[in-house]
Every structure is written in C-alpha cells, then in structure tokens.
Chain A
Amino acid sequence: MTEKFYYDNKIVRNFAIATIVWGIVGMTVGLLIAMQLFKPALNMGSQYTTFGRIRPLHTNAVIFAFVGNAIFMGVYYSLQRLLKARMYSDVLSKIHFWGWQLIIIATAITLPLGLTTSHEYAEMEWPIDIAITVIWVVFGINMFGTIIKRREQHMYVAIWFYIATFVTVAVLHIVNSIQLPISAFKSYYLYAGVQDALVQWWYGHNAVAFFLTTPYLGMMYYFLPKMAQRPVYSYKLSILHFWSLIFIYIWAGPHHLLYTSLPGWAQSLGVAFSIMLIAPSWGGMINGLLTLRGAWDKVREDPTLKFMVVGITAYGMATFEGPMLALKQINAIAHYTDWIVAHVHVGALGWNGFLTFGILYWLIPRIYRTTLYSKKLAAFHFWIGTLGIIFYAVPLYFAGFTQGLMWKEFTQEGMLRYPNFLETVIQIIPMYMLRALGGALYLTGVIVMTYNLIKTVATGKLWANEPAEAMPLAKDYKPQGSDRKLHRVLERKPMVFLVLSLIVILIGGMIEMMPTFTIKSNVPTISSVKPYSPLELQGRDVYIREGCVNCHSQMIRPFRSETERYGEYSKAGEFVYDHPFLWGSKRTGPDLQREGGKYGNVWHFNHMLDPQTMSPGSIMPPYEWLITQTLDTTTTISKINAMRTLGVPYELGYEHKANKDLDEQAKEIAADLQKNNVKVKSDKEIIALIAYLQRLGTDIKAK
C-alpha cells in the first residue's frame, strides 16, 4: 500500500532566494574590486572597502553564500524526490537555512573589519569556523536522516556526490581550521610555513573540488535528465566518474605550490594526479553533454538547457586547463598571474553560475506551479552572461600571458628587460578595464534574471507542501535479480558509503601530508632564522589584517628571472615561525620575501601614505589610516604566549618584557623617520608594519 507524504518546497524556495540575493551582493563586490585594480580611488578612502579586505569578502560571498545556498537549494529539491521522502526534519532545515545566513552575515561584517585568518577561501576567524562546523553537521544529520527514512531502495549517483561533498568538506574544514585563539576574533594556525601552505592548498584545491564541483555534478546528474526528459547517457560512466574523481582530486592540491619550498616529491605527486584528473572530469562532462543526445532541438528552444550546455562545457574547459596549468613548465609562467584568475572564473562563472541559473529557471516555476514569466529575458540573460564570461576571461588570459612573459624576459646582455615590476602592471591595466566590463555584463544578466523570477513568482503561488506518494521501503531487502552484494551494501547502507568515501578521500591527503609533518628532513631548519621581534609580530598582524597577501607573494621561486628581480630564492626553513604562512597566490604587486632593507623606513612610510608618490602609476591604494591608528599592544603578551605554545622559541617570561622591546624598536624607527623629516609617533600601526617589512627575508639575505 502506498504512503502519502509531502515534499518541502518552502526550504528550497528560501535557499533559492538566498542564492540570488547573495549572488548579487558577491558579484557586486567582485565588480567593485575589479574596478579598484584600474582606479584605486574606488576604495572610497575607507579601510573597510579597500581591496585587501574586501577581496576575501568577494571570494567567500560567491563561494559560500551564492554557490553554497545554490547547493542546498539543489540538494533539498533533488534529495527529497530521489528518495521519495520529505526532509528528515523541518526544524533542522530551518536551523540549517538561518544558521548559514547568519554565518554569511558574520563573514560580511568581520572581513571588512580586517578580522581574517589569511588562509584563502577560509579567512573567517575561529568563532565563525565553529558555527560553520555546527551548521554543516545539522545539514549532515538532515541529509542522512532523510536517506535513512527513504522509500526508494537505491541511492542514485547524485546522492553519492552529495555524501562525498558532506564528508569531504567536513574533513577539509576541520583540518584547515585548527587554530589557537588568542582573543574573540584573532587566532594563529597550528601549522607554520611549508606545512601550513600544504594544509591551506590541500584545503583550497579541494574546496574547489568538493564545494564547487562534486555537489554541482550531483545536481547535473539529477537536473539535466529532468530538463532533457531522458536518462543520463551512461550510468556506469557516472559511477566511474564518481569514484575516480573523489579519489584523484584529493591528491592534486600541491600543484598550487610548484617551485616553492614544498618538498619536491609532494609537488611531483600533485602534478601526476592533476594530469590524471582530466580523465574523470572529462568523463563527467561527456556524460553530461551526451545525455542531451537526440534532444539538441530542445537546447535551441529552452533557455534552461542553454545554460546547462554552456555550464558543462565551461566545466570541461576549466578541467582541461587545470591539469595543463599543473604542468611545471606552464605553471612557471602562469602562476601568480591573472591567467589563474581567468581559469578560476571560467569555472565559477560558467560552471557554477550557469548551472545555478539553469536550475533556478527550471525549478522556480515548478515550485510556484506556473510558467517562466519571459523566455526572451532568460535568453537575453544567457547571451549577456556568455558575453560577460568572454569579456571577463579573454582579457585576463591576455594579461596573464603578457605579464608572465614580461617577468621572465631578459635583454641580450642578460639583464631583466622589465626590472621595474610596475611596468608589467601598467601594461595590463586596459585588460583590467575590459575584465570589469565582462563582470558588469555578467552581473546585468543576473539582475535581469532576478526581475524575471520575481515576475514569475508573482504569477504563481508557492506549493509549500507538494503531495507525493510511494510504496514504503520493505524492511527485508529483496534483491532485484541483478543486485550484487557490493552495490547492495553501498546503496542500502549510507553510513557504510560515508565511511568508504571518507577512506577514499583520506588516502591522498594522508600520503602527502603525513611525511611533510613528521619527517624533519622535509623542512630543513636554518640556524640564522630567528623568531620575529614583538614589534615585527604586531606588524605582521597588521599585514594580515590589511590583506596584503592578496596582492603580494612572499615566495621567490628558483628561477633566474625571480632571483634577479627579488633576490635569493625562498627556503623552507625560512618560514618555520610563520603562523600562518603568507606565500600568497597572486602578484598584483611584487614579491616581498626579500623586501627587508631594500628601501629606507621613510620610503615605506611615504609609500603607504600615498603609493603613487613613490611609484608613479601604481595601482596600490593608500593606507593613511595606519599613520593615525594606534597599535594595540595589549595583545602582545597573549601573542607571544600563543607563539610559544605553537613552538616558536621565545624564552619563558619573555612575554612580560616584550612590550619594552617593542617600544624600543618602535622608537628607533620613529627616530629614523624623524631624521628624514617625517613626524610620526612611535605607537602608530605604520611603525609596526615598517618593522615587519624591514625584517622580511633578512635572516638569510645574501649581503
């Protein structure tokens, strides 16, 4: 006898609204920072809207707010229908929704305030990290509860992707968030230098894999057959796609650290598995596109399918380009340039953005029992969005090639052809303008979509509780003739499936990380490398707060073009006291690893006050507030204590003398500035930042 039940569409609608709202917010911030790269004055003279602080706001907003809410929208819609069950708990659904929105709001407040850990795509401080963990667990209980109480015997492959997403994101988030708090919104990572870099990029790469990719693949495997009204091209291929993708992806993180101080064997593993990643990625893309076999006529008419096709194609392009960028020869040119930014945005705008739009156009009319207000507007959105991606990516590819090659070009006499880094920046500013145009076009499309969906919603009424009926799941499992034991175990027992997925994703991470953490020879220590002085430590935290790492690397690769420009290449042992590491991933400005002693204190002062006076044409914003704001030295004791706990060899009791040393060093710098006609009190933040910059790379700097 069949059972009657109701699908919860209200929670799907709520996540859909959040997706659209946060999408517009995140992309608007993205457009603002894109324009700041050719017009720094667009920071509006405020520290709270300056590039270094709001670039993380953009990345976190589009990843966790826009894409995150879209994932939950897609999962909550498809999971209920694939399992023929309402979500396990309406209360948990509500806690999940509102908890996630509160996390987003907390992030949007704290990041512009400079409360950041500096780990890319995980900048939120420890209280928010804890909140994310709690809400993620709520999501997991709700998802597994629904799986357990399901009426469908089998778990469709989309659910496999959702389970892998849940378990892997949980592991990534926890491992990457192990911090030692020193106050309500300040903490230091447990790891330092090379180890911290490996953890960060193991997390960073796999956040792309398991937050931006696997849940979307799950949604692709559900929504594309629905839209095309035909089953997936090859279910066997989807299974191969699933297992191979989650197994291989987790190994590829070190390709973000090629030619750095990371041990060579870890780099080699990262490259090898990155190349292998093409196979499952393209297997998935081909499976998606071939699902439309015999339905291509629908693509011509249906804007939702248009979005899906371009989205899946963008996935294919990005997942081909990714492994190519992991090749050391290509990476040597592309790394630190806008090529990487272009690569990321082909995936983000094309794959995540377009799939989200396609699903929204398909799903909203259904849960409101109406039809889309305007197919013409949806088609307009599709074309302006596609044009936006092209205008975004092509100029940045050009900028990346140009700058990467300019950095490496030598004259016949063996000198750098462009020794002034600024020359290579000025060359690509027109490309930044075109990129902003691309972003504006893309955002325009999203606003048009919002209008179209609001009008659609106005013509219908939310089907909050959609009726459905299905046979209850038999208590005793009845094999369906062909069921094999392995499949039965995998599909009948979600917890077994979870554990298997966990083992698969842990293998790669453990093989790469355990030796780096446990074998001392992987990070050779250097006796001349000493802990930071208290003032330098405080200056380093100012550097972290202002997000300098978003534009400046601290990692000189062992190329002649880099050692000529910046100095001796970076050694692993130089970073052993760096909690967190600040290697960076993009050089909008030059590398700062050997900045110490390169210029006088007064140069740094004037440069921070108004970068254009020292470097005409520079696109760095001024940081005048550092000159007026007083350094908070009440935190010195807890910072020294925390660092000692983490293994930095400060003497016992030094924390009580630290502020005295800090004052002395600050007065020396202030006196030096005074000699150069700059009057500034020694207790200002600028003094600490100068102290830190003057220390950089001097431990082993060749005289």
Chain B
Amino acid sequence: MFKQFLDQATGNQFYLLSSLAIFMLFFIVVGIMLITMKKDEVKYMSELPLKDDIK
C-alpha cells in the first residue's frame, strides 16, 4: 500500500512535502506556546466560565 502511495505521489512530492513542513512548523509553534504557559494562568483561564456566576 505504501509503495503504491509513493509511486502515485511521483511528481507531486512538492505539495505533499511542503504541506508536511507547514504542519510540523505550525505544531512546533503551538507546542512552544503551550509549554510556556504557567500553571496559575491556566488555572485562571479554566475557571472563567465558573466565575461569571459571581455578581
């Protein structure tokens, strides 16, 4: 199956590889963003829906 897929991809690698590269880059950025988040900020944000009960 994979061999067949690679055969069919001939000539179109540019689209497939550039898509993969964009995908990887995007997730590295999102990953860094998540790692840099601090616990107290996460806690504050996650409790926002519950806070709106307070008048």
Interface residues of A (CB under 8 A from B): 78, 81-82, 84, 152, 154, 156-158, 221-222, 225-226, 229-232, 235-236, 239-240, 243-244, 247-248, 251, 263-266, 268-269, 272-273, 276, 467-469, 480-484, 486-487, 504, 507-508, 511, 515
Mark out the residues of chain B between 17 and 55 whose CB falls within 8 Å of any chain A CB in the assembled complex: 18-19, 22-23, 26-27, 30, 33-34, 36-50, 52, 55
Jot down 23 A-B pairs with beta carbons below 8 A, ordered by A: A154-B44, A154-B48, A221-B49, A222-B49, A225-B46, A231-B46, A231-B47, A231-B49, A231-B50, A235-B45, A247-B26, A265-B15, A268-B8, A272-B19, A480-B41, A480-B44, A482-B40, A482-B41, A484-B37, A484-B38, A487-B37, A507-B22, A511-B22
Q: Which residue on B lies nearest to A515, using beta carbons?
A: B15
Task: Output the residue of B26, B27, B41, B48 with the most chain A CB within 10 A.
Answer: B48
- A156 adjacent to B45 (CB under 8 Å): yes
A contact face: mostly helix, strand, loop, or mixed: helix
- B37 adjacent to A481 (CB under 8 Å): no
Chain B nearest CB, measured from A493 CB (Å): 16
- A156 adjacent to B48 (CB under 8 Å): yes
Closest 3 pairs between A and B when the two form their complex, measured CB to CB:
A482-B38, A265-B12, A81-B52
Complex Cα spacing A251 to B18, Å: 13
List 20 additional contacts besides A231-B43, A273-B19, A467-B55; criterion CB under 8 Å. A82-B49, A152-B48, A225-B50, A229-B50, A230-B50, A231-B46, A235-B42, A235-B43, A244-B27, A268-B5, A269-B19, A469-B55, A480-B40, A482-B39, A482-B40, A484-B33, A484-B38, A486-B33, A504-B26, A508-B19
* A222 CB contacts on chain B under 8 angstroms: 49
* A480 CB contacts on chain B under 8 angstroms: 40-41, 44
- A484 adjacent to B36 (CB under 8 Å): yes
- B30 adjacent to A82 (CB under 8 Å): no
Chain B interface, number of residues (Cβ within 8 angstroms): 32
* B16 CB contacts on chain A under 8 angstroms: 265, 268-269, 272
* A268 CB contacts on chain B under 8 angstroms: 5, 8-9, 12, 16
Q: Which residue on A lies nearest to B32, using beta carbons?
A: A486
Task: Output the residue of A156, A244, A511 with the most chain B CB within 10 A.
Answer: A156
Chain A nearest CB, measured from B35 CB (Å): 9
Q: Which residue on B lies nearest to A484, using beta carbons?
A: B36
- B36 adjacent to A486 (CB under 8 Å): yes
Task: Output the residue of A226, A265, A486 with the most chain B CB within 10 A.
Answer: A265
Q: Which residue on B lies nearest to A263, using beta carbons?
A: B12
Chain A nearest CB, measured from B6 CB (Å): 10
* A230 CB contacts on chain B under 8 angstroms: 50
* B33 CB contacts on chain A under 8 angstroms: 239, 484, 486-487
Q: Which residue on A lies nearest to B13, using beta carbons?
A: A265
- A236 adjacent to B34 (CB under 8 Å): yes
Contact of B46 among A84, A229, A232 (CB under 8 A): A232
Chain B nearest CB, measured from A263 CB (Å): 8
* B18 CB contacts on chain A under 8 angstroms: 511
Q: Which residue on B lies nearest to A235, using beta carbons?
A: B46
* B55 CB contacts on chain A under 8 angstroms: 467-469
Chain A nearest CB, measured from B5 CB (Å): 7
Contact of B45 among A154, A251, A269 (CB under 8 A): A154
Chain A nearest CB, measured from B33 CB (Å): 6
* B45 CB contacts on chain A under 8 angstroms: 154, 156-157, 235
Chain A nearest CB, measured from B15 CB (Å): 5
* A272 CB contacts on chain B under 8 angstroms: 16, 19
Contact of B30 among A152, A157, A244, A469 (CB under 8 A): A244
* A487 CB contacts on chain B under 8 angstroms: 33, 37, 41
Contact of B19 among A236, A239, A511 (CB under 8 A): A511
Chain B nearest CB, measured from A268 CB (Å): 7
Chain B nearest CB, measured from A217 CB (Å): 14
Complex Cα spacing A221 to B19, Å: 30
Chain B nearest CB, measured from A265 CB (Å): 4
- A156 adjacent to B49 (CB under 8 Å): yes
Q: Which residue on B lies nearest to A269, using beta carbons?
A: B19
Q: Which residue on B lies nearest to A224, using beta carbons?
A: B49
* B48 CB contacts on chain A under 8 angstroms: 82, 152, 154, 156
Q: Which residue on A lies nearest to B8, using beta carbons?
A: A264
Contact of A240 among B30, B42, B49 (CB under 8 A): B30
* A251 CB contacts on chain B under 8 angstroms: 19
Complex Cα spacing A158 to B50, Å: 13
* A244 CB contacts on chain B under 8 angstroms: 27, 30
Q: Which residue on A lies nearest to B52, using beta carbons?
A: A81
Q: Which residue on B lies nearest to A276, using beta carbons?
A: B23
